[in-house]
Amino acid sequence: MLLTPFFNPLGVVVIGVSKHPAKLGFGLARNLVKSGYRGAVHFVSPAGGTLLGRPVHTDLSAVPDPVDLAVLLIPAPLVPETLKACAARGIRAVVIGSGGFRETGPEGAALEEECLHVARAHDVRLIGPNCVGLINTHLPLDTTFLPPPGPPVGDIAFISHSGAICAVVIDWARGQGFGLSHLISLGNQVDLCETDLLAPVAADPETHVLTLYLEGLTDGRRFVAEATRVSRQKPILALKVGRSEGGRRAVASHTGALAGREAAYDAAFRRAGVIRAETSEGLFDWARALAWCPLPQGPRVAVLTNAGGPGVTAADALDDRGLAMAELSDATREALAALLPPAAGLHNPVDMLASASPEQYAESLRLLLADPGVDSVMIILPPPPMSSAGAVARAVIPVLYGAGKPVVVALMGERMIQEAVEYFRAARVPEYRFPERAAAALAVLSQRAGYLSRPPAEPVTFSDTRAETVEAILVDAVPGETGFLDPVTAAAVLAAYGVPVAMPVLARTVAEAGAQAQAMGFPVALKVAGDLPHKSDAGGVLLGLADERSVAEGFETILRNVGAAMPGLAVPGVYVQRMARGGQEVIVGAVQDAQFGALAMFGAGGVEVEGLRDVAFALAPLTQHEAEEMMEKTWAGRKLKGYRNLPPADRAAALDTLLRVARLAADVPAIAEVEVNPLRVLPEGQGAVAVDVRVRVNRDHADT
């Protein structure tokens, strides 16, 4: 069924109206009537009579046409039968505002499931239960029971998991001078969820930006797929709350330990082109900029101010956000010199001094916007001592029309700037109280422009990767108690995906260890065999052994160390492995996330990876751009290009390994975690070698 009746119904029936002004049923009826909705409005209540000049029907079957949307505010136990009555009446769209369902406990959850069963059996779609309803300001339509007045008409849609936040946002919008196109409270999401509403809301030409308040996602993979399509049409901003890692699952690898729930959400939003807001305030700060400003052509920002301190603050904030201070052309500086006092600062930030007039603000802004080296402008406007902020606003606003470049205003102060506030809001110019907020808004505009400038790309594939080979290896594998494969099997899994591996060989005796070391060539490493997550912590790893005598002594040392650290641990022997020389160490890994699937990781390797946390995550499989971006986000990835006396390493080989490990995790979901730590990236042109490989299969596979 199409969702049109939720957004543009022919007629609405409210079931459960009340004549008592203190009841929610009265508030809902009042809002619907006062919203100016031009379709048919019907009321149903056993009490009958009239309400707000309209008849109140005692039975839904008596409601005349047209009616295709029902809003329910009735006791929860009555909802299933009422849904059947809606279906019999031909109503296929229902908003359940009633509470008393899953949020109350097991009985409420069972009742909620019954509602879903009835709805599916009768082809009825549901929003709610336990929600405050929805608003379409342009239709107009208000099916909420929230206190009036409703939100101003605007171009920002708000979809929320929280009903209380909806009431706050309406009031906030009025106070901050922006309007909403849609407001949708999802409640318990027994049927329709945030993902279902993305496309129909984005299809509304009056909606320029979608904002989401999320407490989670119903289906992470489906959300990513849908948001990826929608975000190419309209920007999507999301405030995802509940960042605590308290519920993180138990994992044993560095990758799994670092891949918390929020890292997965961050990666999913990046893949889908969703901009993740940091705060509730930021959500709408950024939404206003995206709704009202053109996108910049690049990251270069000019700052126009009448005070030096705020200009420096802005420069710092822009740098923190990854933007660049524009280099003004000679022609621009010459024109500014002719316009401003001799003591004015003509470089960026442009400091016009405290005496700056409204006309100087306007003409300076015109010059900056005309400079080809400027992509966007931040105006800083504390209350000017010689004029008024309102006068400056009136002067600069005409310059903005047709400028083609984004301009935001750091309008600093409170009481003395209110006239300017009203002027800028009426002209749809984003204004913020401090430069840091203005810089954040410009950064989001740049982020959006960068996203749209990259054409959609497919994840990298390889002709020499063999998922069927890995699956065959896993069929015969015998994982340990924690699900990890032995190092030889784990290395074979990576090798099947084209990852160069320093293959370990199991030695059960001192003699075997010496013979293996001799055969593969010195120097070698010895690593204890057995189901031991952090071998080096137990003294189970020795490196750089250069001859048979040191191998023999090392074998005995490892057995003593591990025996003392882990009494009773079964140790079948020691792995012998040829050591790679030179280069740099990084970590490459992937872990399965319950919501989003495989999540790839890249970063600083070695034993301190969890302490350093120099890591980046992205959804697997990876595009070339995503893999390169992961490496650029980390110091470990950047220094592969060389740093001071550190020569360049084979960055291309590291990139190839990252892409292959990500593809492995995506192709073979039976692999719960895979980690190469360290991946030794050899000098430029010499490749990379996986030194230590860990693979854990999920419990379902391990039990088969």
Backbone dihedral angles phi then psi of residue 496, each to the nearest 5 degrees: -65, -15
* 575 pLDDT above the threshold of 60: yes
Compare 232 and 480 and report the one with higher pLDDT: 232
In this structure, what token pair is assigned to residue 226? Answer: 């849908």
122-178: per-residue pLDDT in tens?
Answer: 999 999 999 999 999 999 999 999 999 999 999 999 999 999 999 999 999 999 999
Residue 479 in any domain: the answer is: no
| Token representation of residue 495 | 């090798």
Together in a domain, 117 and 13: yes
Q: Is residue 193 situated within a structural domain?
A: no
Does 122 share its domain with 47? Answer: yes
Predicted confidence band of residue 256 (pLDDT cuts 50, 70, 90): low
pLDDT at 244: 57
Average pLDDT estimate for 397-413: 94
Residue 217 lies in a domain: no
Q: Is residue 498 part of a domain?
A: no
In terms of Cα–Cα distance, which of 589, 556, 558, 584 is closest to 657? Answer: 589
Q: Are residues 593 and 568 in the same domain?
A: no
Give the pLDDT confidence score for residue 699 in this predicted structure: 62
Tens of pLDDT along 292-341?
999 999 999 999 999 999 999 999 999 999 999 999 999 999 999 999 99
| pLDDT band at residue 254 using 50, 70 and 90 as cut-offs | low
Give a yes or no: residue 494 inside a domain: no
Is residue 263 one of the residues assigned to a domain?
no
What sign does the CA torsion over 422, 427, 430, 435 have? negative
pLDDT band at 248 (very low <50, low <70, confident <90, very high): very low
In this prediction, residue 606 carries a pLDDT of: 73
Task: Clarify whether residues 539 and 622 are in a common domain.
Answer: no
Contact 589, 696 (CB under 8 A): no
pLDDT computed for residue 257 by the predictor? 58
In a domain, 143, yes or no: yes
Q: Which of 453, 474, 490 is the last residue of a domain?
A: 453
Give me the chain's average pLDDT, please: 93
pLDDT digit string, tens, across residues 500-518: 999 999 999 999 989 999 9
Judge if 630 and 565 occupy the same domain. no
Which of 473-477, 490-494, 679-683 is predicted with the least confidence, judged by mean pLDDT?
473-477
CATH number at residue 683: 3.30.470.20
3-state DSSP helix/strand/coil % of the chain, to nearest 5: 40, 20, 40
Q: Is 524 left (phi over 0), alpha (psi -120 to 50) or beta?
A: beta
The CATH number of the domain holding residue 77 is: 3.40.50.720
Domain identity same for 425 and 302: yes
Q: Is the pLDDT of residue 629 over 80?
A: yes
Q: What is the pLDDT of residues 431-443, one digit of tens each?
A: 999 999 999 999 9
Query: What does the pLDDT average to over 528-557?
Result: 86
Asked if residue 152 lies in contact with residue 128, where contact means CB atoms within 8 angstroms, the answer is no
Residue 478 banded pLDDT, cuts 50, 70, 90 = confident
Helix, strand, or coil here: 43?
Answer: strand
Q: How confident is the model at residue 250 (pLDDT cuts 50, 70, 90)?
A: very low
- Degrees to nearest 5, angle at CA 250 with 247 and 256: 100
With a cut of 60, say whether residue 359 has pLDDT above it: yes
Where a domain ends, among 104, 120, 149? 149
Q: How many domains does the chain have?
A: 4
Containing 565, the helix (H) or strand (E) segment is helix 548-565
Q: Which domain holds residue 525?
A: 503-579
Residues 431, 339 share a domain: yes
601 and 571 part of one domain: no
Integer Cα distance of 259 and 14 in angstroms: 46
Within this chain, do residues 17 and 104 fall inside the same structural domain, yes or no?
yes
| Per-residue tokens: 509 | 């005796």
Residue the block writes with tokens 């126009």: 304
CATH code assigned at 507: 3.30.1490.20
Output the pLDDT for position 436: 97
In a domain, 351, yes or no: yes
Tell me, yes or no, whether 112 and 19 share the same domain: yes
Domain boundary among 425, 453, 481: 453
Close Cβ partners of 660 (under 8 Å, ≥ 6 residues apart): 462, 465, 497, 498, 499
Whether the pLDDT of residue 700 is over 70: the answer is no
Q: Domain check: are 557 and 617 in the same one?
A: no
- Shared domain for 568 and 599, answered yes or no, is no
Question: Is the predicted pLDDT of residue 371 greater than 60, yes or no?
Answer: yes
